[in-house]
Amino acid sequence: MRNKVLYVLLAVGLLLAACAPQATPTAAPPTQAPAATVAPATAAPASTTTQACANPVKIAIIAAMSGTNASLGNWMTQGVTLAVEQKNKAGGVQGCQVQIITYDDQADPTTSVGLAQKAATQDKVMAVWATSNSNTALADIPIFEQYKIPQLTNGTFVNLTQQGSAYIFRVNPAGPAYETPVVNYLVKQGKTKFAIIGDNSAYGVGETKYQTDALKADNLTPLDTESYGINDKDFTGQLTKIMQTQPEVLLLASSEVAAGLIAKQARQLGFTGVIAGGSGLASPVFISTAGSAAEGAYFTSPYPGNDANDATKAFDAAYKARWGVDAEVHGANTYDGTNMLLMAMENAHPLTPDNVAAEMHKICNYQGLQGTFCYNQNGEGINSTFLGVVKGGQLTYLPTTP
């Protein structure tokens, strides 16, 4: 008898599942002020609309909006929203307003794949941002390849563009572009003794490999390579071991906080050599965590900083006006990517996801905040980074040598 109730519950559950709620379109991330919600009828006066625009064009953002990785999703949403709002103010894409739908995957691959399905089949988006985490981005690739929807990512993992998909586009340089310049620069300075420490996540393992490869290209091998778990806070064991090999350079393959802690602990243990690494060190978080230990650390970044040129200054001003904080690298690369995406949408006739992807592939010599983009068939658009050094507690960039 009890079973009857359960069958009813099950049936109700299935019915509920069958009528899953529509995604909630939000034109702005949950954090900030009221969104300039896109209302096609009001924003674009009927007289100027050249074609009937029944539905706004939809762009999805799939990223971690809550939980421990929320910062990444937040930065992505801010960069994308800024570019879309500017475009909408200028009349939208082919006369249509652009709408952003955000999905929170909490950096969990299983959730992310489900949301990718939702964006593709239920909300029928024109293009999608997915995601800042290389692992979840990788998990989503088969979905968007299947539905032929362009997928933009700012993950650094090199494999992202080697999955054979024609629908993945990276809007920032891949991993090796961060590690090779800094290694080559230090080798040119006459350094030969390197040691590497990196975390055991996909990011850390990848960067460790790129650093090792870069050294190998210069006929060097690291004296020691150590790893740690992403939640570790004490690196004495690893660093003590590394220091026995007396390296001149300590290469970090770490995210911002861990990089800061490692730099600090290495100096406290008496390490006097050079500390260097990739984008993990190109961050105010690294500097504030490491304190004085950050001084003199070499880093690479795809974004030359807010004061680099007129374009970055204008971007920073707009970003600050909209979000109340200074722009940083993730905001910059998602802004670049969204601008290119909107351009591709403008050129796509008729406006279908497949055509947008084709137009994305045609983009070349696009001048973005990070430099000049030129997409190849794999979806790799830019390969240059800026080398810098921490001076006086500030990220300062070295003059670019071609």
**Which position among 37, 50, 55, 68 is part of the footprint of another protein (CB under 8 A)?**
68
Between 30 and 273, name the residue whose CB sits nearer to another protein: 30
Between 137 and 356, name the residue whose CB sits nearer to another protein: 137
Rounded Cα gap, residues 286 and 276, in angstroms: 12
Nearest to 337 by CA among 314, 356, 317: 356
Q: Which span (101-109, 316-324, 349-357, 384-392) binds another protein, by CB under 8 A?
A: 101-109
Burial class (CB in 10 A: 0-12, 13-18, 19+), 401: exposed
Per-residue contact string for residues 350-379; x = within reach of another protein by CB under 8 A: ------------------------------
The interface with another protein within residues 185-224 (CB under 8 A) comprises: 200-202, 204-206
The interface with another protein within residues 123-162 (CB under 8 A) comprises: 135, 138-139, 141-142, 157, 159
> Residues near 299 by Cβ (< 8 Å), separated by ≥ 6?
182, 276, 277, 278, 279, 280, 281, 282, 286, 387, 388, 389, 390, 395
Rounded Cα gap, residues 97 and 393, in angstroms: 43
Between 76 and 186, name the residue whose CB sits nearer to another protein: 76
Spatial contact of 294 and 287, defined as CB atoms under 8 Å apart: yes
Kindly determine how many residues on this chain lie close enough to bind another protein according to the rule CB under 8 A.
87
Q: How far is the CB of 72 from another protein (least distance, A)?
A: 9
**Which position among 37, 50, 122, 189 is part of the footprint of another protein (CB under 8 A)?**
122
The yes or no reply on residue 326 touching another protein (CB under 8 A) is no
Beta pairing class for 394-397 and 386-391: antiparallel
Rounded Cα gap, residues 279 and 211, in angstroms: 13
Spatial contact of 136 and 67, defined as CB atoms under 8 Å apart: no
**Which position among 229, 364, 367, 391 is part of the footprint of another protein (CB under 8 A)?**
229
244 CB-side CA count, 13 A: 8
Q: Which span (118-126, 272-280, 332-340, 375-383) binds another protein, by CB under 8 A?
A: 118-126
The yes or no reply on residue 65 touching another protein (CB under 8 A) is yes
**Which position among 37, 50, 55, 121 is part of the footprint of another protein (CB under 8 A)?**
121
Number of H-type helices and E-type strands within the chain: 13, 14
The interface with another protein within residues 237-266 (CB under 8 A) comprises: 237-238, 240-241, 243-244, 257, 260-261
Between 122 and 309, name the residue whose CB sits nearer to another protein: 122
Q: How far is the CB of 23 from another protein (least distance, A)?
A: 8
> Residues near 159 by Cβ (< 8 Å), separated by ≥ 6?
134, 138
